[in-house]
A and B are shown apart, each in its own frame.
Chain A
Amino acid sequence: MRRLLTAAVAAASLWAAACSPGHPAITPPPPSGNYTLASLSGQYAFISNGEVFTNGSSFPVPLVRVGSFTADGAGHITGGVEDVNTAGSVTNAVPITGGSYTVHPDGRGVLDLAFGQNTLEFGIVLTSTSDGLMIDETSTSSQASTGSGNFTKQDTASFAISTIAGSYVFDFAGLDGDTQSACPCPESLIGQFTVANGVVNPGFFDDNDDGTLTSNASFTGTLSTDPLSPQEPITNSGRGIALIAGQNFVFYIVDASRVRFISTNLGMLSGDAVRQNSNFPLDVSGITGSFAFLVAGSSANGGLTRVGRFTAGNSNLSNLLVDVNDAGNEVQFNNLSNASITSYDGNTGRGTLSFSNGATTTFSFVFYLSSANDGVIQEVSGPSGTNTAIVVADGSILSQSGSPFTSSNVTGPYAMNWSGLVTSNNFQDEEDLLAQVTLTNLNLSGTADFFQFTSSTLTPLFDLGVGGSITIAGDGTSSASGQQNSMTVNLSNTAPIHMAVYMVNPQLAFFANRDNNGAQRIVAGILKAQQ
């Protein structure tokens, strides 16, 4: 009932912000599927990146939370812990004292995490019984917070320092800890480390801190239990502390192949480290085939997204397609040149690549591969020889498979999440959407929760009807002009939102908005099939 009332109030107050008269109302379909409360059972490591308005504050500040919750399979949260970093101010090992959750047949639900008298509310969409996507929908008298993230089932048998063994690739993004100049400022830290029994040696990193580049630097570090939080031994939730590239972190073990980090000094960084597997390329000849990538961050103009794809072979990159949104200026590139992998180190999985847009701009990136099929990527475009970048952005690179992409294989139930900036109510601020949609003949039908932090009441919209369609102009892996794939998302009573879509495989796609229809946006997200 409370959600219904909230939705009604929000719908009224947000009319001007999110709704455009003249666009049709969309009735959400009845939830269908096989998910139940029992689909969420066990311990899950979660991460959410966004913003928070605290009581009395006139503006939001960035916030990231990483933690672990335990679901009993019957609608109850029985415990957990989280670490929170709010614009560099850290609150460690906050116990989750209880909570509840719902799961509809379509995998959508609500997750309430209780912290004593306070409760955080998240919208969730399960993508399997092992994982799901989430957005922060907290809107109380003491706190409104939004943000996008995910949760992944933890292997409790791996809750030991010794299980984190081997080489890992990491991507930590967020804000730096600079207190001297007008900061916090954007930072991206990616790299690779080898660890055994808690000793990290060697490690390598590329840091883009406010446009200042540190390239392929080495480091040593540690992973250990947290002596300051004896109430949360690593055996409880996989929680420990780490020193990586000179910065302190808290981590949560998902399993032996994935560890989730949040920084606890020198800024606000977060992200995952993923174990490199046995098929990661030992030389550049092993980097072959089609890849899609998505990076997001900042430029001097404002927010930035780049989503695209290329074909790699013999150090050459071909068939490049890239959609760029630089502070609300959207461009599609399909005539890029001078594209190549300019270096690759088979010991670490680190490489560099670049391509050009005519004579004016060279786009440069550093990447670390965790396998032949995936890795992390950081943009380092900037004046050559200066160790400076004109943007701070990073993200994922994944090999494409399963083409041709058609209505026959891009079909069925999907979770959809995007996050970024929107202009509405005469301000720019964060926007997060989480939806469950069913694709039938490439048409979307589903239900979404939608939180615009530009809303005067700081309340999300719940249970919006979603329509739209995906247009596959080519097979998604070729670069002939006009081969870009697109998606139109229709939200109830809202102008259509136009996305550029890059299929990774029939079960996963990257997307970013490709124009400002309805509202100026800089958002990016994923479409992920539900199992």
Chain B
Amino acid sequence: MSALADTRERSEWRGEDVGVAEVAERLMALNREHARHEHGHAATRTLNLLVAPGEDVSPDALSDDLRGLADRHPSRTIVVREGSAPRLDALVAIDCTIGSGTGGAGHCHDMALLTADAERLAHADALVRPLRVAGLPTVLWLPGVHASRAQDALATLALAIVIDSGVASGAALRLAFARAAALDAARVRDVAWLRLRRWRRHVAARFDDPAARALLGRCERVELRSCASTQASALLLAGWIAARAGWTIERLAPAPGGWRGAARRADGGTVELALGPPEQPDVTGIHALALHAGGETIALTAPVAAPNPARAFAAALGMFDTPTPGYAPALAALLGGLEHAA
């Protein structure tokens, strides 16, 4: 067994005021050069990942996210950022992880970082078309809260659009949800929604029981306890339950320690919605859900499972072609309440 740890290598090229054809040629040249070295790396690409960060996303933060992402989900990554100069600047690179141990295969992925002015960004599809790997599906990732100018043009190329409503908090969440709703809901994969995968399985399993389903029709209060960093997911869970139970959320607004609101059941009854902090301060994620009707309660605590926050994003990319049927109704239910509150 080798004592070597995985090591990383990078080959790159930078150009200022360049054309896309030149960038494409440089990317190809880097790949040819890399193949000649015969490091035993496999070029690993299962999709084209377009990235259009908002202005609130720092280059360093994005760089960190991409580094971690490449290890979990190999892709040709094309990042499009806004620059102030009226030109196109580019950085193309191949990053390789050299496997440790005898026979440990290394893997590589390539990326292009394009910096362009606002006018070019409005036609960003023309920038990235020549750089995509033909035949692979294209996914667009929109990091940050603010929209990039490239967003609409790039969205025309994408099979799926990955966002994370969870980067917003407090009143800004309404904007994040509204932005998600403005995109084509069938193509949106919201990381905040995918973080709920285990919770949704948990809820679905609980309501296999007809007696539990009966309580939905007379529920008077829903309580959700979660830490501050998972507010978006907690709201989406509340929106999902309301939408699928046939309730209409009439108001929902930030309140001390969380959110408060109300929903109307199909029979006209009111369901109080209360989202608050967990009882124990060191708890992360969504901790507990309770539905009350008269003296009855259905209580669920967080599913027992290993925490792994990085997996939700990888899952979002991995599920780009998997429908998320509950998301749009959950979002619509939430926005109804949030708009009324606003």
A binds B: no
